[in-house]
Structure 1
Amino acid sequence: MKPLKKQEQNAAFSIVLIKLLQGFITSDEKKYWEPLLIYQETVRDYFATLGLSLHLSMDDGYAFLKQGALKQDDASAQDQQIGEALEEAADETDETTDTQMPTLVRRMPLSFDVSLLCILLREALEQFDSKVSDDHRLVLHRFDIYDLLKLFYEEKTDETKQFKKFDTLINRVAELGFLKELKGNQNSFEVRRIIKAQFDAEKLSEIKAQMILEIEGV
């Protein structure tokens, strides 16, 4: 790999910081993953000052930030520190024309239906991993996902309308980064392994049981 110039190093480091503050990085996002591996320890140290810890899985190919325990004084200053960090990151890349800075966005709460699909996909991945397989990727056909969802929804006489609703959920989960549409095949999706980190396996059964009760109106 060609050595980066100082300005390019600053830009690469900065976009990794902001991307992690946005959510997560996966190994297929080369623009972020490669500099993350290069600056891994520096990134860890940097976020530690903000009360955040970097969780990186080389096996599953993802990285994300986790909130650490902060003292009250540290917590009150955290928002200001993050703001300063983003301002510094933007300043470092003002003169760089080839690198686009991602925009920091707030995380939006998930709807009940989207949460349900995420839980079902997380459970499917857990079942997939429990089996001996040479394939590291779980790929589901669109109709496989329909079948997962239909168990939790009343049967509709208008199946087309129901499938449109399911497609909306699939698209939303794909936008969140938990599903990845395979190139050249709009009906096949890879369940991305970052979903394991975002939905704790220990709480899967509890959350699913609560969702069943809500669906049944108990």
Structure 2
Amino acid sequence: MTALSGRRVQAARNDGVILTAAREVFLADPKAPIAAVAERAGVGISALYRRYANKEDLLRRLCHDGLRRFNEIAEAAAAEPDGWAAFTGFLADVVDADVHSLTVHLAGTFTPTEDMAADARRSGVLVAGIVERARHSGRLRPGADVNDIGFVLEACAAIRVPDADRTRVLRRRYLAVIVDGLAAPAGTLPGPPPAEAEANWRWRRPR
């Protein structure tokens, strides 16, 4: 290994440590200063600023990474031949990946980039396809809509207890309750589904 490649490996390792620390810090307190991330990561503040110009830049990276992971899961679900299995497996995998904790805590705290907007549009297309296939399977409850899905995932992400393993179990427990509620044959859901603007308003109104 050359000295240059060694430095790159170390830089990538440091970046991973910083991102892990940032996720922990900002999920606990979205208003925490960026210095708290450096302290949690065990790096100097100058090392952090070499990678991220400011807190908003770091928040963008965290949320964009989460969005990319979401799309990877959705793309895998799109390859599942059974429409209902694709739908339920997608929900379970996203809940396990915990990407919506970032949405719950950090939406509206930064201005998304065009790349993020493009990936968000891609996620909308993917999820719409997953929901439509579940509908065609005949197993999705009447009235369930693609815009319901974000709120379902956020509801699971809001479940959090001090023990991480127990958090995962509880999220799966309540996801099972929700999936049963989304399954046919059941009555039509009360009221209309969320409009797109209602589902996405937090991303469009930076605080």
TM-score tier, shorter chain, comes to under 0.3
TM-score by length of 1: 0.27
Answer 1 or 2: which has greater helix percent: 2
More strand by share: 1
TM-score, structure 2 normalization: 0.28
